[in-house]
Structure 1
Amino acid sequence: MKRFLSLTALVALVVACSSKEQNAPEPTAEPVDALPSWNDTETKSTILEYVQAVTDEGSPSFIPVEDRLVTFDNDGTLWAEKPVYFQLYYALDRISYMAKDHPEWENEEPYASGINKDLHGIAAQGYAGLFELIGATQGGMTTDEYHSQVKAWLDTAVHPTTNRPYTEMVYQPMIELIHYLQDNDFNVYIFSAGGIDFMRVWATEVYGIPKEKVMGSSMKTQFSLEGGAHLEKLDQLDAVRDKEAKPEFIYLVTGGKPVIAGGNSDGDLAMLQYTATNTHPFLNLYVHHTDSVREWAYDRDGHVGRLDAGLDEAVARGWTLIDMKYDWKVIFPNE
């Protein structure tokens, strides 16, 4: 004799099955990797553990949001700097373009070296010669005109070695780090020896850092009403913000002291030393260029981005050295 479920029993069975489905545990979501271009090394763990500790209100290491100041160098820290600083390539292209109106430059330094793209000759002129070339390429124009010229150059110029646009010569792992810190309410600034006006043309789009938080060396400007109110760029140096000038400028601009600082050269050492005096837990990062295949390997003997005294101090004081070859899965975007 066939047995059939009563209507009541059938309803009870459906309800029971439905209840089991509703009480079934949700599948565990995979944790999101905040730094996917970083290898799972001690360096990555150090960064993640630091951020987790100082943003946890229940942690003894907690840092209030208003004190979460971060300062990064740019050249060699956020984008490449070899064979020479990229702003110099812009200046050399402009000098070559302007040379037809300045025949006297053929016999004048640093212009003669600039026209011939003689990097050793330019290096021999030091900072003074470098900023004289830069000044010549932007003096006598408005800030808007300079912005337009730099943007037009960046739209077409490519790196002489990699054939990549200069704005693709940025370090993908560092961009991820910037965004990770911003997502955790850190106030991220750039403090570079590079030109402030040059960086502000592209840095916001590439890094996601507002232009008012992009700081660097500067040429003088002058307000004028001639032909309508504008700021005119002069060919005179205003200030070089490198070495000891970096912490001085950081305090002037922010009124605070970083809890995280990142650099790559001796020019950044004073900034990291200043950060190490913070009463909050701090994290000092030095990008160490160790990858001769995917980028360049250099430190103590580098003619650009020399890391000598800073390397010794980082090792002695236990600061975090980012080993580019070992710590990074990729160097540049879209690799």
Structure 2
Amino acid sequence: MQSSCQPSGSVRVAGSIRPAFRSVFGVAVVALSAALCSAGCTTPGSAANVSPPAANSTAALPSWRDGPAKQTIQKFVADVTREGSPNYVPPAERIAVFDNDGTLWSEQPLYFQFAFMLDQVKAAAPKHPEWKKNPAFKALVAKDYGALASQQKQVLQLVAAANSGMTVDEYDKTIRDWLASARHPKFNRPYTELVYQPQLELLAYLRANGFKTFIVSGGTIEFMRPWAEKAYGIPPEQVIGSSQVVQYQMHDGQGTLVRQPKIDFVDDGPGKPVGIYRNIGRKPILAFGNSDGDQQMLQYTASGSGPHLALLVHHDDAVREFAYDRTSKIGKLDKAWDEAIADGWTVVSMKDDWQTIYPAPKQ
């Protein structure tokens, strides 16, 4: 596994970035996320419990080691929030966007929403004998991660068929029930506990300094919205993701939304800037990702006319989490890493920059 690279990460303003972007449209794996039912108010890592001090406080971001990455973040936040600074940004324009899988919580050995999808598709399979000949179904059953990564459209179509006909409330309950019992195969902990403690602190730190924080993920909004606010302090209207078509219907005199067997939008790769434009209407000044699927989101943020900060998590800690990058089928970090080195984005080493990975297990 290659060691992490730490570019300077300095705050850069208009005119300091390259005028042309690389065109990267190859590896856009849908980072289908799962859920993080957060701990209660007194549990370490709870979004409600993390209240970092202001930008210039040395006590901010306690789970981040004091190094270039932490210093870059604090310098950027101080610079854009200090009135009179040439890089001052009004609060309304302090938009920060975060990928979810691999950026806010783990994604190996399989995107967590893929694990949920596998159970859903298996449950629906008896009603669909034709799926036995479907390569995407075979890949799901075999947990062939490489095949899943290369057949994202077919996988999403299977999921859309498996969960169509449900109301959005019924689907919400299905998600919550699954999260209550599912366990990660390596850590034997609920998926809901595998959120990154340093990122919980960063999200709260940014909000304490006037930022509005958004999730921009390849995972579906239907899957993330039931738990994102409790986990991250990010309300449903600030969760941007892939989506399935829903249709308004009347059932027993009540208006309901019913899921249809069709994908509406894929919020990954080049879809992420589109999702940001459609749902936020402002260009972010801070973006945080971890894979090639986030490259265009970081490019878009770095193309802003004012100060901006682009960050990538490098998964280089096989002991406390996982180590993977250029050759991984899940969360591949290759072209985005090259661009980070070339253009001065900040690469955060999980091994070197984070003192801890996850909040303490619940008792």
TM-score by length of 1: 0.87
Which gives a bigger RCO, structure 1 or 2 (Cα 8 Å, sep 6+)? 2
How far apart, in 2, do the equivalents of 1:61 and 1:76 lie?
30
Does structure 1 retain, via aligned residues, the 8 Å contact 2:98–2:289?
yes
Q: Give how far 1:239 is off.
A: 1.0
Q: Give the equivalent residue in structure 1 for 2:247.
A: 222
Choose from 299, 302, 305 the match for 1:273: 299
* Mapping 1:234-245, distance limit 5 Å: 234-245=260-271
One-letter amino acid of the structure 1 residue matched with residue 99 of structure 2: D
Q: Give the equivalent residue in structure 1 for 2:72.
A: 46
Q: Give the equivalent residue in structure 1 for 2:232.
A: 207
User: SS in structure 1 opposite 2:328?
Assistant: coil
Q: Give the equivalent residue in structure 1 for 2:275.
A: 249
Query: In the alignment, is residue 153 of structure 1 matched against residue 178 of structure 2?
Result: yes
Choose from 151, 157, 162 the match for 1:126: 151
Q: Give how far 1:238 is off.
A: 0.7
Query: In the alignment, is residue 311 of structure 1 matched against residue 337 of structure 2?
Result: yes
User: SS in structure 2 opposite 1:202?
Assistant: helix
One-letter amino acid of the structure 2 residue matched with residue 133 of structure 1: L
Identity %: 47
User: SS in structure 2 opposite 1:81?
Assistant: coil
Could you list the per-position Cα deviations for residues 32-81 of structure 1 after superposition, in whole angstroms to 9, with x for gaps in the alignment? 62211111111111111111111110222211111101111111111111
Q: Give how far 1:122 is off.
A: 4.7
Q: Give how far 1:111 is off.
A: 2.6
Q: Give the equivalent residue in structure 2 for 1:300.
A: 326
Q: Give the equivalent residue in structure 2 for 1:35.
A: 61
Query: In the alignment, is residue 70 of structure 1 matched against residue 73 of structure 2?
Result: no
One-letter amino acid of the structure 1 residue matched with residue 341 of structure 2: V
Does structure 1 retain, via aligned residues, the 8 Å contact 2:221–2:239?
yes
Q: Give the equivalent residue in structure 1 for 2:284.
A: 258
User: SS in structure 2 opposite 1:141?
Assistant: coil
Q: Give the equivalent residue in structure 2 for 1:88.
A: 114
How far apart, in 2, do the equivalents of 1:113 and 1:280 lie?
45
How far apart, in 2, do the equivalents of 1:124 and 1:46 lie?
33
Q: Give how far 1:104 is off.
A: 4.1
Choose from 220, 237, 250 the match for 1:195: 220
One-letter amino acid of the structure 1 residue matched with residue 265 of structure 2: A
> What root-mean-square deviation, in Å, do the aligned CA atoms of Structure 1 and Structure 2 show?
1.6
Q: Give the equivalent residue in structure 2 for 1:144.
A: 169
When structure 1 is superposed on structure 2, of 140-149 and 270-279 the one drifting more is 270-279
* Mapping 1:320-335, distance limit 5 Å: 320-334=346-360
Q: Give how far 1:318 is off.
A: 1.0
How far apart, in 1, do the equivalents of 2:256 and 2:84 lie?
51
How far apart, in 1, do the equivalents of 2:84 and 2:133 lie?
67
One-letter amino acid of the structure 2 residue matched with residue 264 of structure 1: N
Q: Give how far 1:110 is off.
A: 2.6
How far apart, in 1, do the equivalents of 2:248 and 2:272 lie?
26
Does structure 1 retain, via aligned residues, the 8 Å contact 2:250–2:256?
yes
One-letter amino acid of the structure 2 residue matched with residue 272 of structure 1: L
Equivalences, count: 304
Q: Give how far 1:97 is off.
A: 2.4
* Mapping 1:91-130, distance limit 5 Å: 91-114=117-140, 116-120=141-145, 122-123=147-148, 126-130=151-155
Does structure 2 retain, via aligned residues, the 8 Å contact 1:88–1:134?
no
What 5-or-longer segments of structure 2 have no aligned partner?
1-56
Q: Give how far 1:129 is off.
A: 2.0
How far apart, in 2, do the equivalents of 1:225 and 1:122 lie?
40
How far apart, in 2, do the equivalents of 1:256 and 1:83 lie?
34
Q: Give the equivalent residue in structure 2 for 1:12.
A: none
User: SS in structure 1 opposite 2:62?
Assistant: coil
Q: Give how far 1:106 is off.
A: 3.5
How far apart, in 1, do the equivalents of 2:196 and 2:138 lie?
33
Q: Give the equivalent residue in structure 2 for 1:13.
A: none
How far apart, in 2, do the equivalents of 1:135 and 1:122 lie?
19
Q: Give the equivalent residue in structure 1 for 2:48.
A: none
Does structure 2 retain, via aligned residues, the 8 Å contact 1:92–1:117?
no
What 5-or-longer segments of structure 1 have no aligned partner?
1-30
Is the alpha carbon distance of 1:183 and 1:316 closer, same or farther for their aligned partners in structure 2, counting shifts above 3 Å? same
Q: Bigger radius of gyration, 1 or 2?
A: 1
Q: Give the equivalent residue in structure 2 for 1:18.
A: none
One-letter amino acid of the structure 1 residue matched with residue 319 of structure 2: V
Is the alpha carbon distance of 1:121 and 1:49 closer, same or farther for their aligned partners in structure 2, counting shifts above 3 Å? closer
Is the alpha carbon distance of 1:297 and 1:121 closer, same or farther for their aligned partners in structure 2, counting shifts above 3 Å? closer
Does structure 2 retain, via aligned residues, the 8 Å contact 1:110–1:121?
no
Q: Give how far 1:120 is off.
A: 4.3
One-letter amino acid of the structure 2 residue matched with residue 320 of structure 1: T
User: SS in structure 2 opposite 1:229?
Assistant: strand
Q: Give how far 1:108 is off.
A: 3.6
Q: Give the equivalent residue in structure 1 for 2:84.
A: 58
How far apart, in 2, do the equivalents of 1:130 and 1:105 lie?
11
Is the alpha carbon distance of 1:107 and 1:251 closer, same or farther for their aligned partners in structure 2, counting shifts above 3 Å? closer
One-letter amino acid of the structure 2 residue matched with residue 85 of structure 1: Y
User: SS in structure 2 opposite 1:224?
Assistant: strand
Q: Give how far 1:256 is off.
A: 0.8
